[in-house]
């Protein structure tokens, strides 16, 4: 099988591991810089060009699209879909999951538990939104933030008012969420491949920190998840339309709550903590499912 990996660099851990696993299973792999791809969007014969050459047909494409290049990256991924290449995750699903507000609305509509979330634009609505999520302490999140950047814990109502006024004054999109105190600065990352959780870790924030992201110094350890958590993780990934996803769950007094569904989950933390060859499981999934023109959306929407 000929596999393309859309990634800015072949040396990134996740990209390197996927390429290594694919080659070990006898496949031909090429890492393609997403931003160096350009497209001929012709109805008769759409093509993808890269560094002065037209790319030959691939059997499958693995998108490792950074959050900062989502718009262009998903356009390139759509073009792969249009020429019949099987995507590990489809462009529509990636776009859907990257829109934090839209993804939470979709999960909510399907009955997935999540922290109470408010969304507002006008400063006059700040007090009502604070009460809507249960008052302080609460969490304010930038919709465009990643890896814990743009996430603020407001421990008092006055602090929440100040942060919300400041963000609104900068004309950025934010959402306000209930703070799950009983989670104790920890969350569960469930790594979903197909319809299965293949690995799971507990990520614990540093003392004095509430963000458990490994990029922020949090620690990771193997955790045994409950059948309910497993079901929630696989269902959340399925609602997003993702074949491979990192589903972040908080353990609350009223059951597992989904914080986020990540369409390009990193492999380093999960493989390092669990010792599992997650990259190999992803390639195995492609072997079983990659077929020409099998994309459900064929680049639409």
Mean pLDDT of the chain: 90
C-alpha distances (whole Å) from 254 to each of 113, 149, 227 are: 9, 27, 15
Residue 301 has pLDDT above 50, yes or no: no
Instruction: State pLDDT tens for residues 207-220.
Output: 655 565 555 556 78
The answer to the question of residue 109 being in a domain is no
Tally of domains within the chain: 3
Helix (H, G, I), strand (E, B) or coil at 278: helix
The answer to the question of residue 64 being in a domain is yes
Burial of 284 (0-12, 13-18, 19+ CB in 10 A): middle
Residue 280 has pLDDT above 60, yes or no: yes
CB atoms within 10 A of CB 243: 22
The answer to the question of residue 206 being in a domain is yes
Q: What CATH number does residue 236 fall under?
A: 3.30.470.20
| Choice among 12-16, 45-49, 157-161, 294-298 with the minimum mean pLDDT | 294-298
The answer to the question of residue 107 being in a domain is no
What was the pLDDT predicted at 211?
60
Asked whether 207 and 181 are in contact (CB, 8 A), the reply is no
The answer to the question of residue 9 being in a domain is yes
Instruction: State pLDDT tens for residues 54-65.
Output: 998 899 999 999
What was the pLDDT predicted at 213?
58
Mean pLDDT of the region 155-167: 92
Q: Which domain holds residue 66?
A: 2-96
Residue 155 and residue 158: Cα distance in Å, rounded? 9
Asked whether 3 and 55 are in contact (CB, 8 A), the reply is no
For the entire predicted model, the pTM comes to: 0.89
Clarify whether residues 162 and 197 are in a common domain: no
Contacts of 257-261 with CB under 8 Å at 24 or more apart are 257/113, 257/114, 257/115, 257/180, 258/107, 258/112, 258/113, 258/114, 258/232, 258/233, 259/114, 259/115, 259/187, 260/100, 260/103, 261/97, 261/103, 261/107, 261/236, 261/237
């Amino acid at each position: 099988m000929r596999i393309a990996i859309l990634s800015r660099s072949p040396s990134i851990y996740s990209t390197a591991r996927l390429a290594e696993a694919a080659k070990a299973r006898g496949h031909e792999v090429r890492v393609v810089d997403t931003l160096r791809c350009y497209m001929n969007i012709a109805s008769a014969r759409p093509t993808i060009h890269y560094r002065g050459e037209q790319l030959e047909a691939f059997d499958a494409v693995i998108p490792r699209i950074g959050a900062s290049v989502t718009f262009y990256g998903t356009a390139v991924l759509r073009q792969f879909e249009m020429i019949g290449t099987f995507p590990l995750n489809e462009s529509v699903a990636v776009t859907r999951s990257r829109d934090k507000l839209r993804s939470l609305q979709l999960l909510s509509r399907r009955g997935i538990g999540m922290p109470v979330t408010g969304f507002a634009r006008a400063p006059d609505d700040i007090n009502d939104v604070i009460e809507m999520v249960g008052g302080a302490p609460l969490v304010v999140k930038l919709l465009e933030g990643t890896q814990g950047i743009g996430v603020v814990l407001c421990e008092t109502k006055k602090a929440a008012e100040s942060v919300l006024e400041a963000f609104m004054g900068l004309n950025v999109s934010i959402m306000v969420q209930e703070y799950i105190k009983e989670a104790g600065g920890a969350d569960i990352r469930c790594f979903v491949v197909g319809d299965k959780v293949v690995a799971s870790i507990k990520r614990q924030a540093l003392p004095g920190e509430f963000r458990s992201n490994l990029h922020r110094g949090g620690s990771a350890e193997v955790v045994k998840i409950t059948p309910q958590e497993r079901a929630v993780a696989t269902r959340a990934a399925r609602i997003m339309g993702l074949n491979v996803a990192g589903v972040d769950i908080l353990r609350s007094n009223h059951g597992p709550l989904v914080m986020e569904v990540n369409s390009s989950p990193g492999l380093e933390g999960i493989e390092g903590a669990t010792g599992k060859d997650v990259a190999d499981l992803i390639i195995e999934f492609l072997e079983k499912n990659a077929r020409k023109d099998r994309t459900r959306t064929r680049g639409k929407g």
